[in-house]
Structure 1
Amino acid sequence: MIIYGVGLLALCTLVGVIIGDILGALLGVPSNVGGVGIAMILLICIRLWMEKRGLMQVETEKGVVFWGMMYIPVVVAMAAQQNVVSALSSGHMAVLAALCTVAVCTLTIAGLSRYKKGAPLPKEQASINGIGG
């Protein structure tokens, strides 16, 4: 059912927010640090794990895909709640967060690109009117 996909997202969001709050407390920042991003990465990992084992049903995937498309508006809404002024006033923390984010994203993309190799894309054919190719 689609509700299972929504439930899976809710679980990932809850875990992500808890981890983000813990990270914020450990780093001395009085806010959530990366909770939504952690939740989305967790959701991607669980979805891939379930698909690999044949546990992801079509209906469940519909719920996951729907909320995956809603990711950007959710992030924008949550970012609006963050105290940006206090984050930027402690310059070293903003730089550290940026460097960690770039490193994690780079490693995640590299890992995902090596996860499943498919057939190469076919070469484009030249168009009839001479544009392209």
Structure 2
Amino acid sequence: MIIFGTALLAVCHLLGIFLGDLLGQALDVKTNVGGVGIAMLLLIFARLYMQKRDMLPKLTELGVEYWGAMYIPVVVAMAAQQDMVSALRGGPVAVLSAIAAVAICACVIAAINRSERAHVEEESAPRLHDNPLLTEAE
């Protein structure tokens, strides 16, 4: 079942790369614009969607969590392959799209964090005077 988590990641990655290429063409930049970030957002949304509808078995969820944790090093390795100098020479479109992608990701992450319910267990507050020798009358 863990392999299904890997398959979900692969589908999100391929779709993200495709959408990043389309975005690059739309912005007249000859590179992928935010494909890996789009893929990560798709993975987050797919996981949340499947969890809400109980379509995500525990072992598949473990596979998704594993690859979700491994995704950041993959993003760093892929970013190292991109030619930043030519992107900056391509004009302000690349810089503006990067800033927009970061801003959109920050807003989406904030929205996801607000939508999840915090499961905080209430603990009894410590009493100031727990001395059994003291009574309420004093």
Post-superposition Cα deviations, 1:12-42, rounded to whole Å, max 9, x if no partner, equal 0010010011111111111111111100100
Partner Cα distance (2:84, 2:95) in 1: 13
Alignment of 1:107-126 (within 5 A): 107-120=107-120
Q: Residue 135 of structure 2 aligns with which residue?
A: none
Report % sequence identity: 54
Deviation, structure 1 residue 84: 0.7
Alignment of 1:35-114 (within 5 A): 35-114=35-114
Question: If the length of structure 2 is used for normalisation, what is the TM-score?
Answer: 0.81
Partner Cα distance (1:96, 1:112) in 2: 24
Uncovered stretches (5+) of structure 1, i.e. residues with no partner: 126-133
Contact preservation (8 Å) 2:29, 2:94: no
> Which residue identity is paired with 2:99?
L
Partner Cα distance (1:10, 1:97) in 2: 25
Question: If the length of structure 1 is used for normalisation, what is the TM-score?
Answer: 0.84
Deviation, structure 1 residue 91: 4.2
Secondary structure of the residue that 2:95 maps to in structure 1? helix
Q: Whose Rg is larger?
A: 2
Q: Residue 34 of structure 2 aligns with which residue?
A: 34
Deviation, structure 1 residue 122: 6.1
